[in-house]
Chain A
């Protein structure tokens, strides 16, 4: 029995794969699809494809006496329709996701946002084009021939609801309101020129020092990352919340807002860097460039200045700097238990993300380390624990005085050494008041003890012990004092000292002993 060839779909002039232009004017700073494949339009589907499918099924109905052939042709038709549906869906996705928002300045962003929020918004035109092609009316189709095309409606059908006119305009207007608010925010005067809020504004001058450096976009981003809720970003989230849109389509709506917040985030990073440079200067001037942090300095730190910066309840670090960075940084612990600040949110998601400059984290780490060294958790001053380990000493040949005992003292804390097996001891240094520190050698000569043992001393400052260290030669952590015990006779006394103040600064500022003075 001869087989009948399957019916052919009639192709109109112009071809199904021809392109036609989309009537969308993309302003500078935006871009998107400018053409549309004609075959994947609602007009072609309804005018050509549907008609051809119905006609083919009518022909198939006449093949009742050849059920096998009928089934083969029906299967071929279904496959062709599935391929068409896939192409249709891909074309609409290409168009809707083609939208780009690419601006390099806040001025340009403001201009483009106003265009997108205006009555001739290219984004509205883009959505209208896709919504039109996605509205295929398949819900009322009783034939069941076009089931493969329902994926198109599922994917993009909700777009038409955004443009359905309501009492106060369509839903897309709500999105445009968000863009308009964002544009207005970009046009707002920079925080530096705004009058200070009543009451000075929490958490104080550090916060003002950061926000005062921000551009309008920077201020928007800073507000978002530090927990503000009344922002264009949250307004967009609210608008999107009740819209049944797919992730790809949601991305389209987020693109302009995210781009502006991205500009703002870079501005915040710049402001944080500049603020850190100022902060570091202040911290250096007040703390780290002074003795005992800087062993070359002749200017001793006073306990009051330390407390003003570092006291864990009332100092600037806890009361001002850390609150100003709330939401941006969090405190953790290093493997050795030290305070370590890190970025609160790693920049791995699509959320607004500010990369906190590593130099700022290092500044906070230094301050936190110093604070934890000098105060306990309850805010009570903590004596500095200085571990000292003596090294055995030797004697010059001859019958000079015999050292009986070496005493290393700071305040009321002393350790003795008489050349026994070296053992680590701890000296507790009360840094809240002036101390005396000394290294003295008890001598025996001609059977009697010396009344005034030779000694090296430092007094009149809380940091006397560190001044005593300065009078020693330093090699690594070993400090050696050369104590004259007789005319032409010097006793070299060495201690290994773990210097907790030096450990704070790590290798950033190597502490070099100036040698004996």
Chain B
């Protein structure tokens, strides 16, 4: 005799869950991450720039491609990995808050979309306990970043 349909679906769900294929379970809601960005007048040659906060697998941070991030910034539907984007004005201090809804194994990436990006166009926040990052931008990118 065949098992009822509902029973079979329940069995399938059980098998999937036991194999570890289920999506990572979000941790309980965390307080927001606060970024304080101090941009020099010569940052990005005086032109405004975007800062992007996105969540990603830790292994993916170094492989991130500038153009792919730029291309995803204004696409519809919205890229769910992008938690926050904001304009940074050279010569100003900009404060940005992002809700770090990170699953297990995920980290935060902070990217500055400079017109001429050097090596220091991004940083990763690996520790989930970090609540505040003070970043100073120079002419060609991140000069310093203090995580608290």
Contact = CB atoms under 8 A, between A and B. Distances in A.
A352 B50 CA distance: 71
A416 B66 CA distance: 15
Interface of A: 392-395, 397, 402-405, 416, 418-423, 444
Contact of B113 (A395, A402, A419): A419
A416 B50 CA distance: 13
B88 to A, nearest CB: 10
A394 B45 CA distance: 7
A309 to B, nearest CB: 40
Nearest to B41: A397
Given A418-B113, A421-B117, A422-B115, A395 B47 contact: yes
11 contacts: A392-B44, A395-B48, A395-B90, A405-B74, A419-B113, A420-B66, A420-B115, A421-B66, A421-B117, A423-B70, A444-B87
A395 B87 CA distance: 12
Contacts of A444: 87
A395 B45 CA distance: 10
Interface in B25-68: 44-50, 66-67
B114 interface: yes
Contact of A418 (B50, B67, B89, B116): B50
The 8 closest A-B pairs by CB, nearest first: A392-B115, A420-B113, A394-B46, A420-B70, A394-B47, A419-B47, A392-B47, A416-B74
Nearest to B92: A399
Q: Which of A393, A403, A421, A423 has the most CB of B within 10 A?
A: A421
Given A392-B44, A419-B49, A404 B70 contact: no
B82 interface: no
Given A395-B89, A402-B87, A405-B74, A419 B67 contact: no
B87 A404 contact: yes
Nearest to B67: A423
Interface centre among A392, A393, A397, A422 (most CB of B within 10 A): A392
Contacts of A402: 48, 87, 89
Which of the listed residues A393, A405, A420, A423 has the most CB atoms from chain B within 10 Å of its own CB?
A420
B73 interface: yes
A419 B74 contact: no
A419 B48 contact: yes
A394 B129 CA distance: 37
Contacts of A418: 49-50, 73-74, 113
> Among B50, B74, B89, which residue has the most Cβ atoms of chain A within 10 A?
B74
Given A419-B50, A421-B114, A422-B115, A392 B90 contact: no
Nearest to B70: A420
Contacts of A394: 45-47
Contacts of B46: 394-395
B147 to A, nearest CB: 25
Contact of A421 (B45, B48, B90, B116): B116
A128 B70 CA distance: 92
Contacts of B74: 405, 416, 418
Given A420-B115, A423-B67, A423-B70, 16 more contacts: A392-B47, A394-B45, A395-B47, A395-B89, A402-B87, A416-B73, A419-B47, A419-B50, A419-B115, A420-B49, A420-B70, A421-B113, A421-B114, A421-B115, A421-B116, A422-B115
Contact of B45 (A392, A397, A416, A422): A392
Interface in B65-81: 66-67, 70, 73-74
Interface in B95-125: 113-117
Nearest to B112: A420
Contact of B48 (A397, A403, A416, A423): A403
A247 B74 CA distance: 79
A84 to B, nearest CB: 91
Contacts of B87: 402, 404, 444
Contact of B47 (A393, A397, A405, A423): A393
A444 B48 CA distance: 12
Nearest to A416: B74
- Looking at B70, B91, B115, the one whose CB has the most chain A CB atoms below 10 A away is B115
Contacts of B91: 397
A120 B53 CA distance: 105
A208 B46 CA distance: 66
Given A392-B115, A402-B87, A444-B87, A420 B45 contact: no
A394 B115 CA distance: 11
Nearest to A404: B87
A402 B94 CA distance: 13
Contacts of A405: 74
Contacts of A392: 44-45, 47, 115-116
A405 B47 CA distance: 12
Contacts of A416: 73-74
Nearest to B121: A421
A482 to B, nearest CB: 16
A303 B128 CA distance: 61
Contacts of A420: 49-50, 66, 70, 73, 113-115
